[in-house]
Structure 1
Amino acid sequence: MHDVVIVGAGPVGLFLACELGLAGCSVLVLEREPEPRSPWRSFPLGMRGLSGGSAEAFYRRGMLPPLLAASGVAERPVTDEPAPPQSVGHFAGTPLDPADVDLARLPYRLPSPALDGIMTSLEAVETVLAERAGKLGVEIRRGVAVTAITQDDSAAVARAGEQEYPARWLVGCDGGRSTVRRLAGFDFDGTEPQLTGYLALVTLADPGLLAPGFTVTPQGMYLTMSEPGHLGVLDFDGGAYDRSRPPTREHLQSVLRRVSGTDVTLGELHLASTFTDRAKQATTYRRGRILLAGDAAHIHSPLGGQGLNLGIGDAMNLGWKLAATVAECAPSGLLDTYTAERHPIGARVLDWSRAQVAAMRPDRHSRAARSVLHDVLSTRDGTTYVFERTSGTSLHYDLGEQGLVGHNAPDFALENGTRVGDLLHDGRGVALDFTENGQLQEVTRRYGDRIRYEAGPAKNDLGFGAVLIRPDGIVAWAGERVPDRGSFERAVRRWF
């Protein structure tokens, strides 16, 4: 029997498998598709944007260099001061200027090898994660479609045909139409769609008729991307067409002409799929010994590119907690903090998606709201707000403390050249003691190899004397210039 069976070998399932394998768990990943590669996962149709927060997750596990190489992105040298972001993206089709981001509004931002964002592909992400998972002893079985799930107080069992796969824990990372979620009886609540979206690779007979980038029209929105013939279209039909039948060249041309207000002609349709803005979320991410992560736990429109990043955040949060539970060294209630911390983050992303759809609806009320939003987002405050929401910069869990606690740890750099990201490579917690207070080291010794103690002055300590960082990179405790041993020890007991 494995410690954990993960259903789904997409980016979320593979990232979670790496986290568990890093902690020494025995992990089996079951994937329905027989082959890992497809045109929908490679460039251009599989193109995805990783936020700064997701790039940081790869950096903290030593996987950033291979990911950059697989994505064809050059490493950016670390500067002495935080650099402006290279991109902010858009909101409801309104592009935003990265030069308008106010870095002074980001008090805990320090220079880091992790970029503010990476343009990559699903294939590149999955290739890097699958290779890492293999090195950590994770077994991946492809062409296995789960058809039944059972659980009791000691185990969960996934069944595929006549074959059973028992484990102490089972995690569904099998996408928006999750079989695990349905079979395990999770409630899935939210809002129904207002649109059908189309993603296609076509040959355009007259590409000059379409404007570049995002174009919001009185009938919807279309997007022409840098790769010729790579199109996106939003048609506000209440989601009626999505997956009702395969989109034909004639149908897509008709929709594109109506939405764009042009007589554009599609010469050939190479690949096409549909999606909607249906936004739903599991009411809890755990039922007994079965958990959900990624799109299995929450679905929404791809506007803003938040889905992949939200799922990686789920895996980073869940991995160390589930591993500690498997090892029977987790503090009471640790695994329950997964839903408590990630569910509100998912709800915010769903509302972010709904707000963009509401602003793009082809009616007079939405056009008026979009006009006001355009003016607000053109300001420095507006652009900074969007950057905080979409980059991972504003990620914060309510851990009952103020200030830095609950935030993503800044990439503190010690005078000896060691960085926080380097210290987190092995998936342990980190106690950073800038004052070299031996009392804190005495506390961490009691926890064996679960916490790494590192002492020494930092190039910029942001005014703190010591910081306790969870394995997922979240600050669990922050001490002043003279750290308080008592409060530090209480934080260690709470999380380790």
Structure 2
Amino acid sequence: MDASVVVVGAGPAGLMLAGELRLAGTDVTVLERHPRRTGESRGIGLTIGTMEVFDQRGLLARLGAYETGTMGHFGGLPLDMGILGAAHEAARTVPQSVTEEALEAWATDLGADIRRGHEVVSLRDDGDGVTVTVRHDDGQEEIRARFLVGCDGGRSTVRKAAGFDFPGTAATTEMLLADLRGVELEPRMTGQQVGGGFVMVAKLAGGIHRVIVGEHGIPPRRRTGPPAFTEVADLWKRLTGTDIAHAEPVWVSAFGDATRQVTEYRRGRILLAGDSAHVHLPAGGQGMNTSVQDAHNLGWKLALVLRGDAPEALLDTYHTERHAVGQGLLANTRAQSLLVLGGEEAQPLRSVLAELIEYPEVARHLAAKVSGLDIRYEAGAGGNPLLGRRLPHLPVTTRAGDTTSTALLRTGRGVLLDLDDNAVLRRRAQGWRDRVDLVTATPGPVPEGSPLTGTTAVLLRPDGYVAWAAPGSHHDLATALNRWFGPASGQGR
């Protein structure tokens, strides 16, 4: 084998996956068809869920200066994310180009092999490995890997070549986007219905303003390239009455509301992550953020399988968990599409939902959904409310000093967090010490009503989700360890 894993695509999903694999000690080669980073930023923010992921890996400092805030939206209706009481706020001013630069530096520092100007033209899975044919400036070559992961976007070559089914609906309309210099516009971060369409303005770093504009009832155009800026400016003036034609366009693009998802995230030794697996209307930056979290879910599982610690069946949980998340993503973005792109006929729906958002439980539900905090994976029967959820940020004191549950995950390993100094519990986990850190800690103050109240121990997967908790799990610790980390050392791995 030339590589344990070949990742196709150096966007947020591919780079996050490369970093996760290298953190776990697995070699990885990333193939990217573009010779250099494009600098384009389809996404311009990080949700609370992704902020938690980046904090778990110590990546927030790599993003540089950024602004955070609690205000978001659901289909253009303002939504205060502060109702979630999360440890982080969403980052509002992090362009995707900055996210990619940070992730690439992290993955490269860890030893990932990133090859730009390498375009995949064909692939073959023979059951023992995957052979990839790659075209580059020096000609063509074959690379062989144990697994291949397609992170190459909505028009994924990997998805098409491997024959994944990609059902869904075609775009019915489109919106135009432009990043502009030399213009001052009032921010409309949650968007706004105006006349016969929808407009949005976001202020980015470097004096750049992003405008998004769409007209109700206009079908998408067949395009072979990005729209001309004059098309954006003309539509903007028609809907808002404001002339932006004098601005300097930095980047212009168009996008639609096509909604599709592959029926399976894994076929043999080929897997998909990010936009390769799901496309939808961009709404609140959920696409890029979900893509990063796809990779965060897959990386540690793939590494455990490649090291021989866990059986290959562990990879099936990647499909089970993330396909369900993708279905939820498509459902909520389709609902938002009706609110944003619908004309006057959608106004009664907007009015009713605006009334419902005033109820805290409704606001909390929608805020969690678009923030990535509503995810709960299957973790066995039990009454502990933490099971299957990401552990909330928890200050703890260990023998080494003060730290947090988030910082304990920086190594990318599992963590058994013993909050009751239970020597018997730690002995039961000894056979997994090569994959799981056993940490005895005293928790800091637990807020009233927190699901942590009364919890004496939690088993954290490397992605921060709770695989077992005491009290409340209806299966024992060894069962959970075996399920997520493979058999104990010396037990037939």
Q: TM-score, normalised by structure 2?
A: 0.88
Post-superposition shift, 1:47?
A: 5.5
Post-superposition shift, 1:37?
A: 4.3
| Partners of 1:360 and 1:367 within 8 A in 2 | no
Post-superposition shift, 1:475?
A: 0.2
| Partners of 1:467 and 1:479 within 8 A in 2 | yes
* Counterpart check, 1:415 vs 2:397: yes
2:66 aligned partner: 73
Letter of the 1:149 counterpart: L
Post-superposition shift, 1:414?
A: 1.8
Distance in structure 2 (CA, Å) of the matches to 1:58 and 1:102: 19
Distance in structure 2 (CA, Å) of the matches to 1:324 and 1:245: 42
CA deviations 1:103-141 (Å, max 9, x no partner) are: 4xxxxx6xx4x5444531222212221122122211000
Distance in structure 2 (CA, Å) of the matches to 1:86 and 1:95: 13
Q: Sort the Cα spacing of 1:216 and 1:244 in 2 relative to 1 into closer, same or farther, 3 A.
A: farther
Distance in structure 2 (CA, Å) of the matches to 1:143 and 1:196: 30
Q: Sort the Cα spacing of 1:330 and 1:147 in 2 relative to 1 into closer, same or farther, 3 A.
A: same
Letter of the 1:290 counterpart: I
Counterpart among 477, 480, 494 of residue 468 in structure 2: 477
2:479 aligned partner: 490
Letter of the 1:31 counterpart: E
Counterpart among 74, 77, 85 of residue 94 in structure 1: 77
* Counterpart check, 1:357 vs 2:337: yes
CA deviations 1:298-328 (Å, max 9, x no partner) are: 0111122101110111011100111111111
| Partners of 2:79 and 2:367 within 8 A in 1 | no
1:8-157 to 2 correspondence within 5 Å? Answer: 8-38=9-39, 40-41=40-41, 48-67=44-63, 69=64, 72-73=65-66, 86-98=69-81, 101=83, 103=85, 112=87, 114-117=88-91, 119-157=93-131
Letter of the 1:491 counterpart: A
Post-superposition shift, 1:242?
A: 5.5
Q: Secondary structure at the match of 1:280?
A: strand
| Partners of 1:470 and 1:476 within 8 A in 2 | yes
Q: Sort the Cα spacing of 1:325 and 1:215 in 2 relative to 1 into closer, same or farther, 3 A.
A: same
Count residues in correspondence.
464
Q: Sort the Cα spacing of 1:211 and 1:329 in 2 relative to 1 into closer, same or farther, 3 A.
A: closer
Letter of the 2:481 counterpart: V
1:420-459 to 2 correspondence within 5 Å? Answer: 420-459=405-444
Letter of the 2:25 counterpart: G
* Counterpart check, 1:186 vs 2:182: no
1:161-176 to 2 correspondence within 5 Å? Answer: 161=135, 162-176=140-154
Q: Sort the Cα spacing of 1:371 and 1:50 in 2 relative to 1 into closer, same or farther, 3 A.
A: same
1:78 aligned partner: none
CA RMSD of aligned residues (A): 2.4
Q: Secondary structure at the match of 2:480?
A: helix
Post-superposition shift, 1:478?
A: 0.6
Distance in structure 2 (CA, Å) of the matches to 1:249 and 1:115: 34
Distance in structure 2 (CA, Å) of the matches to 1:211 and 1:73: 17
1:465 aligned partner: 456
Q: Sort the Cα spacing of 1:446 and 1:97 in 2 relative to 1 into closer, same or farther, 3 A.
A: closer
1:220 aligned partner: 197
Letter of the 1:90 counterpart: H
| Partners of 1:285 and 1:291 within 8 A in 2 | yes
* Counterpart check, 1:391 vs 2:335: no
Letter of the 2:245 counterpart: L
Distance in structure 2 (CA, Å) of the matches to 1:204 and 1:441: 61
Letter of the 1:52 counterpart: I
Q: Secondary structure at the match of 2:45?
A: strand
Post-superposition shift, 1:176?
A: 0.9
Distance in structure 1 (CA, Å) of the matches to 2:178 and 2:92: 22
Deviates more, 1:156-165 or 1:275-284: 156-165
Q: TM-score, normalised by structure 1?
A: 0.87
| Partners of 2:174 and 2:256 within 8 A in 1 | yes
The unaligned stretches of length 5 or more in structure 1 are: 75-84, 104-108
Q: Sort the Cα spacing of 1:468 and 1:242 in 2 relative to 1 into closer, same or farther, 3 A.
A: farther
Q: Sort the Cα spacing of 1:255 and 1:469 in 2 relative to 1 into closer, same or farther, 3 A.
A: same
2:490 aligned partner: none
CA deviations 1:29-79 (Å, max 9, x no partner) are: 0001101242x14xxxx5521111111111111222222x2xx138xxxxx
| Partners of 2:130 and 2:148 within 8 A in 1 | yes
Post-superposition shift, 1:415?
A: 2.9
Q: Sort the Cα spacing of 1:338 and 1:228 in 2 relative to 1 into closer, same or farther, 3 A.
A: closer
Distance in structure 2 (CA, Å) of the matches to 1:491 and 1:398: 12
2:293 aligned partner: 313
CA deviations 1:226-264 (Å, max 9, x no partner) are: 35653111234564225355422442233223433x263
| Partners of 1:248 and 1:269 within 8 A in 2 | no
Post-superposition shift, 1:430?
A: 0.4
Identity of aligned residues (%): 36
Post-superposition shift, 1:338?
A: 0.2
